[in-house]
Amino acid sequence: MRDVVIVTGPPCAGKSTFVAARAAPGDLVLDFDRLAVELGSPHPYDHPPAIRTAARTEIERRLSAAESGRVWVIRSAPHLNDRAALATRLGASRVVVLAVPAEIAKHRAHADARPAWTAHAIDRWWSAYRPSSTDTRPEEVPPVTAPDPISATGPGTGEQAAPAVAPESAPPAAPARPSTEDTSDSESLRAQLAEAQSFAARVPELEQRAADAENQLTRLRVTRAAGLDDSIADRLRGKDEAELTADATTFAELLKTLAAGASAAPPASAPATPAASAATAPGRRPVEALRPASAAPPAETAEDDPAAIARAVFGKPPTP
């Protein structure tokens, strides 16, 4: 009786290694990539469409020729429906999915000097992968620790092959599987720990960036609410929203006063007080609060008018 086991997973998931640790003597291993190379693919992992079609046909041909024993079929198959259709077409008893995390698979690809596109192929696999309740977990398929009397039967002989070692000497081979699993689990935990530490180190920076962004949004909001240009937002010196709103209101009143002064200059004898009264009206901050700390207060001279106030605040003459 034939037993077909399909092994799937992203590139560098260790599918071939997984099968090699479990295939008994006499088992048939159908590796899609190896068959593609046998059929003339110029690359061990990136095959032309015609070669890929030929490899699929060859897998099914060899599978049909295998009337008994265990057959291992290695494919990528991230799509749930593709795995189900493949299992039905090949008559598979199990579909094992090696869902190795993308970070670990990429690390293996780099260590194995795989092509640069391998990392993208790993991401594509994970974006398309969907688990299924019928998938078999890797730990449910233990490795071969001793020759299986049925699997070790030589093809075409009909006789049971003699065990290579006495039954009592077989157990020493058992530690191979736990060691491989422990290594894989350790790599996964180390990768997760490194990712967590990297994120934790960036938390203060991210918090500061979030606070700066929130402050800038507040400045823009109060600036636009006062009918001012966005460029005024960085000139506001308030520490919270209330002070920023008062600053923006003061700026708006000053600009209105300056615009009015530019269109109709006041009489020479009139006291220059409108800007000062606007700057100290309820709900507004004094003009001095808007002046940079390094700027000296303007002297009470003949220039103490709206234009002088604008120069003190903006550092340049107003634009009508």
Encode pLDDT of 127-150 as tens digits: 999 888 888 888 888 886 544 433
Residue 122 identity: I
Question: What is the DSSP code (8-state) at residue 139?
Answer: G
Residue 177 identity: R
How far, in Å, are 23, 96, 249 from residue 135 at the CA level? 19, 6, 66
Classify 96 as helix, strand or coil.
strand
**Whether residue 130 sits in one domain with residue 119:** yes
Count structural domains, the chain: 2
pLDDT of residue 63: 83
Answer with the one of 105, 139, 174 that is the final residue of a domain.
174
**Whether residue 50 sits in one domain with residue 28:** yes
- Among 2-11, 213-222, 261-270, name the one with the lowest average pLDDT: 261-270
pLDDT of residue 254: 85
- Which carries the bigger pLDDT value, residue 155 or residue 254? 254
Q: Which residues contact 97 (CB under 8 A, 6 or more apart)?
A: 8, 9, 83, 131, 135, 136, 137, 138
**Whether residue 208 sits in one domain with residue 231:** yes
Q: Can you state the percent helix, strand and coil of the chain, rounding each to 5?
A: 55, 10, 40
pLDDT of residue 252: 86
pTM of the predicted model as reported, rounded to 2 decimal places:
0.44
**Whether residue 136 sits in one domain with residue 62:** yes
pLDDT of residue 290: 58
Q: Are 260 and 266 in contact (CB under 8 A)?
A: no
**Whether residue 183 sits in one domain with residue 318:** yes
Domain extent, residue 67, equals: 2-174
Encode pLDDT of 178-206 as tens digits: 333 444 455 556 666 777 777 777 788 87
Kindly report the CATH number assigned to the domain that includes residue 36: 3.40.50.300
Residue 241's Cβ-side half-sphere holds a number of Cα atoms within 13 Å equal to: 8
Give the mean model confidence (pLDDT) for residues 25-45: 88
Residues 154, 248: Cα–Cα separation, whole Å? 90
pLDDT of residue 43: 81
Predicted confidence (pLDDT) at residue 86 exceeds the cutoff of 50: yes
The sign of the dihedral angle between the CA atoms of 81, 85, 91, 96 is: negative
Residue 263 identity: S
**Confidence class for position 10, pLDDT limits 50, 70, 90:** very high
- Among 73-77, 157-161, 215-219, name the one with the lowest average pLDDT: 157-161
Predicted confidence (pLDDT) at residue 25 exceeds the cutoff of 80: yes
Q: Are 24 and 70 in contact (CB under 8 A)?
A: yes
Encode pLDDT of 93-128 as tens digits: 999 999 999 999 999 999 988 888 899 999 999 999
Answer with the one of 119, 143, 174 that is the final residue of a domain.
174
DSSP H or E run through 4? strand 2-8
Percent of the chain scoring above 90 in pLDDT:
18
Predicted confidence (pLDDT) at residue 289 exceeds the cutoff of 90: no
Residues 297, 289: Cα–Cα separation, whole Å? 11
Give the mean model confidence (pLDDT) for residues 154-181: 37
pLDDT of residue 204: 83
**Whether residue 162 sits in one domain with residue 228:** no
Give the number of residues written for the chain. 320
**Confidence class for position 233, pLDDT limits 50, 70, 90:** confident
- Which carries the bigger pLDDT value, residue 146 or residue 250? 250
**Whether residue 206 sits in one domain with residue 135:** no
Predicted confidence (pLDDT) at residue 17 exceeds the cutoff of 80: yes
